[in-house]
Structure 1
Amino acid sequence: MMAAEAGAARNTLLAYERDLDGASMLLEGRLGEASPEDLHRLAEAWLPLKRATVARKAAALRRFFGFLQDEGLRGDDPSAALPRPGSDRPLPKILDHAAVDALFREIERRKAEGGTAALRLSALVELLYGSGLRATELCSLPRNAVSPDRPFLILRGKGGRERLVPISDRARAAVAEWAAHVPRDSPHLFPSGKKHLSRVRLYQLIKALAADAGIPPERISPHVLRHAFATHLLEGGADLRAVQLLLGHADIATTQIYTHVDSRRLIELVNSRHPLADAGPTGARRAGRAAGRVDARRNPA
């Protein structure tokens, strides 16, 4: 059902399998007949786990018992006894504009020294920060995914969902420079041996670049550059729904976490743009000063 009807990705199916197997072992193979009391025992066994882990396990079991009831395999659904821990999702790590500028200065320095490694790194970072690609999406790009005359590419990302990703002129130029050095018979834009560049190797390349740029390596990763892409778009006034589509998030709640990383800017936005911003004491004083100026113009001394 999860594969055929829900269209779940392979990693999701594997996670469900692990969670259901684990729960079945704790209940000695009686998961399908579990009572609310059995599920309370499961919840007690999960107490040492993180809240996010418990939430994931409970969600898998709710889906399982819902399936059993829908298929007529049991007449009740005991999943109300499962815990519902609150979310403790941490805020994403981000880079400020100065750090991003330092990365690109270091890339330009390496390019000036010559060599294809710098061209590859330039293309990788331009796509990570300029388009918000996930590491896996980036590493496995087909050789002709980015076309010089097409300002976008179509990705099949997490969960098998397709999305259109705009590619900046800078990124297309960087990819074109690198692509000229990719073997013509390579199916991948970033080949490595018989396959493509691995996520681990990409991680290492970004860490080394950060160190040379004077940025603590622990502050950066390919995913941090994706976070910076989203955060800097929102800082620039981008619509949250547009950022959701660009990142390929199935749920806008996932994208909303980026609205928490710059609360100062959001507060300033409300204070300066809200229709009632001038209705308070400050607004009244401003209105009074404006009225005084009008009176002075009408009744000059």
Structure 2
Amino acid sequence: MMAAEAGAARNTLLAYERDLRGASQLLHGRLSAADAAALNTLAEAWLDLQRATVARKSAALRRFFAFLQDEGFRADDPSAALPRPGGARPLPKVLDHGAIDALFAELERRKREHGGTLDLRLCALVELLYGSGLRATELVSLPRHALQPGRPYLILRGKGTKERLVPISDRAHEAVAEWAAHVPRDSLWLFPSGKSHLSRVRLYQLIKALGAAAGVPPERISPHVLRHAFATHLLEGGADLRALQLLLGHADIATTQIYTHVDSRRLVELVNSRHPLTDAMAGAGKAAGRRQEEDEAGVVPAG
């Protein structure tokens, strides 16, 4: 049902499978027949987990029990007994401009001193992660000819098989072209590895290693953090939230809105520079400053 009707992506299907199998093991293989009391034991077993993890597991089970009821495998739906952890959604980790500059400086150093094919591949990967905001899975599974010369965009099939148009910068085009010259002509993938493409785990390791070499703490960087940096820095530069939603491939703009909470400094600057009272307040402040200077100098106002 998840694949055929909901159109869930492979990683989503794997996540659902892990959550369902884990719950089934806790209930000794009696998940489909579980009642409210049994589900309460799951809640107790999940006490030490993070709220986001518990919310994900509960959502998977609620969908599972709804499926069982819809298909007539059971008459009731006991999922009301599952926990519904609340709380605010955590803010995404973001790299500042200094850290991004350090990453690209390290990439340039490697290309200048070594210029090996793996350095060219890493440069192409980072340009697409930070320059276009691709998800890790979208990036590693790009087809061999996904980027066409003279075409400043590519069409991606992301989560839920939804297609979106992603602009590609001249820098990214150049980096990919340098790398693509070393990709076997018969390869199906832009970033091949063995009989398939580069794995998400290997991409994660490469980005961590690059960060360490550039002086960025390992806990601060990952492929997804570079995607967050892409979104945050675009928003800082004045990008429209709706445009950002389309670029990131978010189905719900509520997911995109979390980036509006990341940079409070920019919001303060925005109010101070754009509010209609700013000029009047600034003028009043200057006038008060002049009066104070005149008083201190003993100047008597005319008239």
TM-score over 0.5 for the pair:
yes
1:90 aligns with 2:61: no
2:45 counterpart residue number: 45
1:296 counterpart residue number: none
Secondary structure (helix, strand or coil) at the match of 1:154 reads: strand
1:235 aligns with 2:208: no
2:177 counterpart residue number: 176
2:99 counterpart residue number: 99
The one-letter code sitting in structure 2 at the alignment partner of 1:189 is L
2:299 counterpart residue number: none
2:129 counterpart residue number: 128
CA distance in 2, matches of 1:174, 1:135: 18
RMSD of equivalent CA atoms: 3.0
- Report Cα offsets for 1:191-217 as digits up to 9, x if no partner: 233333333333333233333333334
- Report Cα offsets for 1:119-171 as digits up to 9, x if no partner: 22221111111001122222222111111211111112233322211101111
Q: What displacement does 1:270 show?
A: 4.2
- Asked if structure 2 preserves the Cα contact closer than 8 Å seen for 1:182 and 1:189, the reply is yes
CA distance in 1, matches of 2:7, 2:155: 19
2:226 counterpart residue number: 225
Q: What displacement does 1:26 show?
A: 4.5
2:67 counterpart residue number: 67
The one-letter code sitting in structure 2 at the alignment partner of 1:12 is T
CA distance in 1, matches of 2:68, 2:44: 24
The one-letter code sitting in structure 2 at the alignment partner of 1:192 is S
The one-letter code sitting in structure 1 at the alignment partner of 2:94 is I
CA distance in 2, matches of 1:200, 1:26: 28
- Report Cα offsets for 1:10-32 as digits up to 9, x if no partner: 33333334433444455555544
C-alpha change, 1:242 and 1:75, in structure 2 (3 Å) is same
The one-letter code sitting in structure 2 at the alignment partner of 1:99 is A
1:294 counterpart residue number: none
The one-letter code sitting in structure 1 at the alignment partner of 2:130 is Y
1:110 aligns with 2:110: yes
CA distance in 1, matches of 2:200, 2:164: 21
CA distance in 2, matches of 1:258, 1:106: 27
Secondary structure (helix, strand or coil) at the match of 2:155 reads: strand
C-alpha change, 1:64 and 1:116, in structure 2 (3 Å) is closer
- Asked if structure 2 preserves the Cα contact closer than 8 Å seen for 1:52 and 1:87, the reply is no
1:216 counterpart residue number: 217
Q: What displacement does 1:231 show?
A: 0.8
C-alpha change, 1:209 and 1:48, in structure 2 (3 Å) is closer
1:2 counterpart residue number: 2
CA distance in 2, matches of 1:289, 1:50: 50
Secondary structure (helix, strand or coil) at the match of 1:42 reads: helix
2:142 counterpart residue number: 141
- Report Cα offsets for 1:193-247 as digits up to 9, x if no partner: 3333333333333233333333334322222211110110111111222222212
CA distance in 2, matches of 1:110, 1:201: 19
Secondary structure (helix, strand or coil) at the match of 1:163 reads: strand
C-alpha change, 1:213 and 1:22, in structure 2 (3 Å) is closer
CA distance in 1, matches of 2:216, 2:29: 51
Q: What displacement does 1:39 show?
A: 3.3
- Structure 2 length as normaliser, TM-score? 0.81
- Structure 1 length as normaliser, TM-score? 0.81
- Asked if structure 2 preserves the Cα contact closer than 8 Å seen for 1:190 and 1:197, the reply is yes
C-alpha change, 1:83 and 1:199, in structure 2 (3 Å) is closer
C-alpha change, 1:12 and 1:191, in structure 2 (3 Å) is closer
**Runs of at least 5 residues in structure 1 that lack an aligned partner in the other structure:** 291-300
- Asked if structure 2 preserves the Cα contact closer than 8 Å seen for 1:51 and 1:88, the reply is no
